[in-house]
Amino acid sequence: MSTNDTQTAAQKAIGGFAPRLVDYTDRVLFGEVWEGEQLSKRDRSLITCAALIATGKTEQMTYHFPKAIENGVTKDEIIETITHLAFYVGWPAAMSAIGKAKELLGDAE
């Protein structure tokens, strides 16, 4: 296995516990799906954030909100996505997401 510095996020989180899930995550999800040419990584990040907001998956936001910033989504775009989705997916989901965004991105530009 890789050293801790070269491990993927999935390897660090669940490596030896669920190796097949790590393999699917690294090889299929991030290796094939995220590398598809039909959508940019920026667009994929914004879509992923919207899906996480809509489904209330705040734990996954911990990885994907900062990753979205790395992929070119702005903090203001994440905030506006949450605000927009409040009217479609519910106020509680939006309030949970905005709390997580503030925690993760409060100082991000």
pLDDT cut 70: percent of the chain above it? 94
Question: What are phi and psi for residue 2, nearest 5 degrees?
Answer: -70, 165
Chain segment 10-48, per-residue pLDDT in tens: 999 898 999 999 999 999 999 999 999 999 999 999 999
Which pLDDT score, from 0 to 100, does residue 107 have? 80
**Shared-domain flag, residues 51 and 90:** yes
Q: Assign 4 a pLDDT band (cuts: 50, 70, 90).
A: low
**Shared-domain flag, residues 18 and 53:** no
**Shared-domain flag, residues 67 and 85:** yes
The pTM for the full model equals 0.87
**Shared-domain flag, residues 76 and 24:** no
Indicate whether 73 pLDDT > 60: yes
Q: CA 105, CA 109: separation in Å to the nearest integer? A: 8
Number of compact structural domains in the chain: 2
Structural domain of 55: 41-105
Q: Assign 109 a pLDDT band (cuts: 50, 70, 90).
A: low
| Nearest CA-CA partner of 68 in 58, 77, 59 | 77
The domain that contains 49 carries what CATH number? 1.20.1290.10
**Shared-domain flag, residues 49 and 65:** yes
**Shared-domain flag, residues 48 and 87:** yes
